Amino acid sequence: MSLDRRHTPRWRRGYRFQYEPAQRGHVLLYPEGMIKLNDSAALIGGLIDGRRDVAAIIGELARQFPDVAELGDDIEQFMEVARAQHWIELA
């Protein structure tokens, strides 16, 4: 079953996406700890603002990286993992 690209992701309450100089990268902070995100996840995470739907996030990254095959599928997979891990909510 595919993710509905009309859904709008937002970080769950208590979760904060930010650049962490000590980690030399983007992280997701939450009350129990921190998750260091890889570069791809950080690019996606930087576009999660509670206003853009999944389709808009895919569109923005497709403009930045036009030669990446199956970009939309990769972003959907990230959203599914992030939802399963309770990092985001999809509205």
Q: What is the mean pLDDT of each run of 10 residues along the chain (91 residues)?
A: 88 97 96 95 98 98 95 96 96 93
Tell me what pLDDT residue 78 has. Answer: 97
Q: Report the side by side order of strands in the sheet with 16-20.
A: 16-20, 25-30, 33-36
The helix/strand count (H/E) of the chain reads as 3, 5
- The 10 Å Cβ neighbour count of residue 58 is 21
Comparing C-alpha atoms, which of 36, 25, 31 is closest to residue 12?
Answer: 31
Set out the domains of the chain in order of their start, with CATH numbers: 9-85 (1.10.10.1150)
- The 10 Å Cβ neighbour count of residue 74 is 15
Tell me what pLDDT residue 3 has. Answer: 86
Tell me what pLDDT residue 52 has. Answer: 98
Tell me what pLDDT residue 72 has. Answer: 95
